[in-house]
């Protein structure tokens, strides 16, 4: 059983900072900037963003398959990661610092390229991390290093553009400054990670065909339970994430505090990562995750009772749910690494890339489904965001119910799936011993 050194993990985690700082503006800040500062039509913007998301979903299995098939001196994961990292930096630079006459064509071109390159760099990166440690608890530590760095990058993306300002298209605006930072540090930190962090030996004993590989994937019951719970919990988390700005401005009536409250949430998320590691070390990964989801249900139930001006109570809720975010980010990928061991033993091929491709699809589907569910309901309820007139009570009740109470149902379903999850610490040790025996038998037969 192996665990990488803290130095190796530090360097491995560094690229997560610029990658996270790249992701949030891509989907949150840049579309608004193109609409308000460059005059891109809202209808055209919606069509382009839809096309980018569809392309993004297609690219996951393609990149995952490639990351499992590439062979080079740098290894499978590091080779693909190293190729796509500078390409993602270039695409983000062009997208975040557009010329003043940029239109829909410019946005579509660089948005599609950034989508492809971002998948190309993040998918092998997470697969690489899943293979770094063979220890049950060590995998939680690897995930914690990466996700802690991810939260730091998210904080940078939340703060930097708005500190500089995104209210003009010319000159060195906030997105342009972020573009420069990403162009410099993404390839630099990616190179450091490849230099300082090794890639473990490929445990594959054979190569599967596409159909045979899908059959093994579908037969992995532990994986199906995990990805089901991951999707349900992701859907539950996506609902308040989608409605956060509306809830603060329309229900609480403090639109000016949206930024500080969001910052508080992610700061507490950083604190929650080591708490998740310590809890999982004592109670196990899946039970700790279930406990965090249960506590989140209780907290969300109270948030639906808030009225206009209840800022202090909501700040406490933001802090508490931010701490629990550390569990949601850290523990599921560490459990996924255990599930992949089971597939590697049964199928004979270590297919971490394709497993995390399915993981990425579940994430994107949960985000899309949340938006597809909540916005039609809000429109039907009569909510009129940004209106100078008071919102009608029915609309405010719908907003509170969707934000606070709807997420409880999928979270409870996710808890039910994960509570008696079949891979705990002793089971994972048995899987690793069986894998090592299979590898020794393979070597002795050669």
Per-residue pLDDT tens digits for 280-306: 999 999 999 999 999 999 998 999 899
Pair 417, 232: CB distance under 8 Å: yes
Report the predicted TM-score, pTM, of the whole model to 2 decimal places: 0.87
Per-residue confidence (pLDDT) for residue 386, from 0 to 100: 61
The span from the CA of 327 to the CA of 290, in Å, is 9
Among 14-23, 242-251, 342-351, top mean pLDDT goes to 14-23
Task: Please spell the DSSP secondary structure of 118-158, one letter per residue.
Answer: HHHHHHHHHHHHHHH--SHHHHHHHHHHHHHHHHHHHHHHH
**2 pLDDT above the threshold of 80:** no
Task: Please spell the DSSP secondary structure of 363-391, one letter per residue.
Answer: HHHHHHHHHHHHHHHHHHHT--TT-SSPP
Per-residue confidence (pLDDT) for residue 293, from 0 to 100: 96
Lowest-confidence segment of 26-35, 124-133, 158-167, 331-340 by average pLDDT:
26-35
Q: Which domains does the chain have, with CATH numbers?
A: 1-202 (1.20.1250.20), 208-446 (1.20.1250.20)
The span from the CA of 103 to the CA of 39, in Å, is 8
**10 Å Cβ neighbour count for 242?**
18
**10 Å Cβ neighbour count for 181?**
20
For the chain, give the mean pLDDT. Answer: 88
């Amino acid at each position: 059983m192996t665990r990488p050194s803290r130095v190796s993990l530090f360097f491995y985690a560094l690229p997560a900072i610029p990658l996270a700082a790249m992701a949030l503006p891509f989907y949150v800040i840049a579309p608004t900037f193109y609409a308000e500062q460059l005059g891109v039509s809202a209808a055209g913007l919606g069509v382009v963003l839809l096309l980018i998301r569809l392309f993004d979903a297609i690219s996951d299995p393609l990149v995952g398959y490639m990351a499992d098939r590439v062979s080079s001196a740098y290894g499978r994961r590091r080779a693909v990661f190293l190729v796509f990292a500078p390409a993602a930096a270039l695409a983000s630079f062009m997208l975040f610092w557009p010329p003043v006459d940029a239109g829909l064509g410019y946005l579509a071109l660089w948005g599609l390229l950034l989508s492809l390159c971002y998948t190309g760099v993040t998918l092998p990166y997470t697969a690489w991390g899943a293979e770094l440690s063979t220890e049950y608890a060590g995998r939680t530590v690897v995930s914690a290093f990466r996700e802690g760095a991810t939260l730091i990058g998210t904080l940078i993306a939340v703060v930097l553009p708005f500190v500089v300002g995104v209210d003009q298209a010319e000159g060195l605006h906030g997105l342009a400054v972020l573009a420069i930072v990403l162009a410099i540090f993404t390839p630099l930190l990616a190179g450091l990670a490849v230099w300082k962090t090794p890639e473990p030996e490929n445990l594959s004993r054979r190569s599967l065909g596409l159909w045979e590989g899908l059959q093994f994937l579908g037969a992995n019951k532990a994986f199906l339970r995990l990805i089901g719970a991951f999707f349900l919990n992701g859907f539950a988390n996506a609902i308040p994430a989608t409605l956060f700005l509306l809830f603060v401005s329309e229900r609480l009536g403090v639109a000016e505090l949206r930024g500080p409250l969001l910052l508080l949430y992610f700061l507490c998320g950083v604190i929650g990562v080591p708490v998740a590691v310590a809890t999982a070390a004592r109670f196990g990964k899946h039970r700790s995750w279930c406990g965090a989801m249960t506590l989140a249900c209780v907290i969300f139930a109270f948030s639906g009772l808030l009225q206009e001006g209840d800022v202090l109570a909501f700040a406490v809720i933001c802090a508490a749910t931010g701490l629990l975010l550390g569990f949601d980010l850290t523990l599921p990928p560490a459990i996924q690494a255990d599930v992949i061991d089971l597939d590697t033993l049964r199928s004979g091929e270590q297919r971490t890339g394709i497993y995390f491709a399915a993981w990425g699809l579940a994430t994107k589907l949960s985000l899309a489904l949340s938006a597809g569910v909540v916005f039609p309901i809000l429109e039907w309820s009569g909510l009129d965001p940004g209106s100078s007139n008071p919102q009608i009570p029915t609309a405010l009740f719908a907003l509170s119910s969707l934000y606070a109470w709807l997420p409880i149902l999928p979270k409870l379903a996710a808890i039910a799936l994960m509570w008696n999850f079949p891979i705990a610490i002793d089971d994972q040790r048995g899987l690793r011993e069986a894998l090592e025996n299979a590898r020794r038998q393979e070597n002795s037969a050669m």
